[in-house]
């Protein structure tokens, strides 16, 4: 577990920047200081001479300029955050969430990030259904309010049968977390057709199948939540990771399209959607990569990703989560000049050459 001051990953840029972000970039702090710099009450300095030191400081031109910059940046951050929340949630509130009655369905919930999310929901006494190709370990299956179904989510026939059983036994899921994902770490030439299709079936096509099974009920009730776990690979492709990156870019497009259809075709403006883009996560999928001596990229702990997703779901609002936040600029990489885009890809084209 992280300590009180630092995240699990240690002293990250986000952690180092937090005190600054929580103080001087808060308009409610920088604003009054800026006002005081321009309208310092001279009468107070005359009454209490010790305040003259602050008067001289506040009247400094450099301080005024600095406070003005901080106030503007802080205000723009607040406006941007508010607009993101309002637009991504269709300017609507959904106050009907009752987590004692909601049903969360997580694919790939038997291990990794999925299992961690299951544990967090279970700790909050929220009922969870796991769909996975393997049975969960006893540490997961023994948790209260946890139900698991073993199946291949890429099989529409098996999924349809299990979905009927879930609806009959537990009711309609109100939260769907498309978490299951696989990769091959092979070049285009060395990948077989079966392997390529399997990556797309798990990472993209299953999203279609699961949404078709469970989201119509959410749309009808105008209440629900769908999470797509994508990746930073949605924006940046590495050599020897093309199938995975393509499938995660597809998952992002699916998320965006689903959001549009829910509000534009079904009037389900309160069905929330969130897409998650983690960078490298310390899971068995990248175990060989972590053994490379020259691998220095930032790596997230799986608990960090799981907690971020659960926190967002429990907020009742949809969002786009980029983890860590410092990589948000990468979401616009395809709008960069071509020379810069290709230079960035060139810089990482040996990372997966294990």
In this structure, are residues 297 and 232 in contact, taking their beta carbons and an 8 Å threshold? no
Residue 128, in any domain of the structure: yes
pLDDT band at 40 (very low <50, low <70, confident <90, very high): low
Q: Are residues 83 and 125 in the same domain?
A: no
The whole-chain average pLDDT of the chain stands at: 92
Q: Is the pLDDT of residue 1 over 50?
A: no
Residue 43 has pLDDT above 60, yes or no: no
- Are both 18 and 143 inside the same structural domain? no
| In a shared domain, residues 268 and 130 | yes
pLDDT at 78: 95
Does residue 77 sit in the same domain as residue 206?
no
Q: Pick the last residue of a domain from 61, 88, 115.
A: 88
Name, in order, each residue with C-beta under 8 angstroms of 162's C-beta and a sequence gap of 6 or more. Answer: 131, 149, 151
43 and 115 assigned to the same domain: no
Both 183 and 55 in a single domain? no
Q: Which pLDDT score is estimated for 306? A: 98
Q: What is the percentage of the chain residues whose pLDDT exceeds 70?
A: 93
Domain assignment present for residue 5? The answer is no
- Identify which of 300, 318, 211 has the alpha carbon closest to the alpha carbon of residue 10: 300
* Model confidence band, residue 41 (pLDDT cutoffs 50, 70, 90): low
Range with lowest mean pLDDT among 50-64, 113-127, 215-229: 50-64
196 token code pair: 């390529």
244 as an active site residue: the answer is yes
- Give the integer Cα–Cα distance in Å for 319 and 85: 7
Residue 262 has pLDDT above 70, yes or no: yes
Looking up residue 259, the CATH number of its domain turns out to be 3.40.50.720
Return d(Cα 121, Cα 119) in angstroms, integer.
Answer: 6
| Confidence check: pLDDT of 2 > 90 | no
Whether residues 156 and 304 share a domain: the answer is yes
Q: Is the pLDDT of residue 287 over 50?
A: yes
In this structure, the answer to whether residues 326 and 227 fall within a common structural domain is yes
Render the burial of 40-64: b for 16+ CB within 10 Å, e for the rest.
beeeebeeeeebeeebeebeeeeee
Q: Which domain holds residue 48?
A: 13-88
Band of the pLDDT at 53, cuts 50, 70, 90? low
- 164 and 71 assigned to the same domain: no
**pLDDT number for residue 64:** 81
Specify the number of domains making up the chain: 2
Catalytic pick among 119, 244, 270, 317:
244
> 207 and 60: one domain?
no
Same-domain check for residues 173 and 289: yes
What is the mean predicted confidence (pLDDT) over 307-331? 97
| Cα–chain center distance at 348 | 23
User: Which is the catalytic residue, given 248, 266, 270, 292?
Assistant: 248
What's the rounded mean pLDDT across residues 136-146? Answer: 95
Are 212 and 326 members of one domain?
Answer: yes
Helix 302-315 vs helix 112-123: angle between axes, to the nearest 10 degrees?
A: 50
Res 47: pLDDT: 61
pLDDT confidence of 20, banded at 50, 70, 90? Answer: confident
């Amino acid at each position: 577990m992280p300590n009180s001051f630092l995240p699990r990953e240690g002293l990250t840029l986000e952690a180092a920047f937090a005190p600054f972000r929580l103080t001087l970039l808060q308009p409610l702090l920088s604003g009054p200081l800026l006002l005081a710099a321009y309208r310092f009450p001279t009468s107070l300095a005359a009454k209490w001479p010790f305040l003259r030191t602050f008067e001289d400081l506040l009247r400094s031109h450099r301080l005024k300029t600095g406070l003005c910059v901080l106030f503007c940046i802080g205000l723009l951050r607040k406006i941007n955050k508010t607009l993101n929340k309002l637009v991504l949630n269709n300017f609507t509130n959904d106050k009907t969430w009752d987590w004692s009655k909601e049903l969360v369905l997580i694919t790939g919930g038997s291990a990794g990030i999925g299992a961690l999310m299951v544990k967090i929901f279970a700790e909050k006494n929220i009922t969870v259904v796991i769909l996975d190709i393997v049975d969960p370990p006893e540490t997961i299956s023994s948790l209260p309010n946890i139900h698991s179904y073993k199946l291949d989510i890429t099989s529409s026939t098996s999924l349809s049968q299990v979905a009927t059983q879930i609806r009959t036994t537990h009711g309609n899921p109100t939260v769907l977390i498309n978490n299951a994902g696989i990769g091959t770490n092979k070049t285009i030439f060395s990948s077989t057709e079966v392997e390529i299709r399997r990556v797309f079936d798990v990472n993209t096509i299953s999203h279609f199948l699961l949404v078709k099974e469970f989201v119509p009920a959410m749309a009808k009730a105008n209440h629900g939540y769908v999470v797509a776990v994508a990746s930073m690979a949605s924006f940046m492709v590495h050599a020897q990771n093309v199938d995975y990156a393509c499938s995660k870019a597809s998952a992002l497009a699916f998320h965006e399209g689903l959001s549009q259809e829910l509000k534009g075709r079904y009037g389900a403006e309160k069905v929330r959607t969130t897409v998650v883009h983690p960078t490298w996560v310390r899971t068995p999928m990248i175990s060989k990569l972590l053994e490379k001596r020259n691998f220095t990229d930032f790596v997230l702990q799986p608990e960090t990703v799981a907690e971020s997703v659960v926190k967002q779901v429990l907020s009742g609002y949809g969002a786009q989560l980029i983890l860590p936040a410092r990589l948000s600029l990468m979401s616009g990489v395809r709008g960069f000049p071509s020379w810069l885009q290709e230079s960035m890809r060139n810089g990482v084209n040996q990372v997966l050459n294990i």
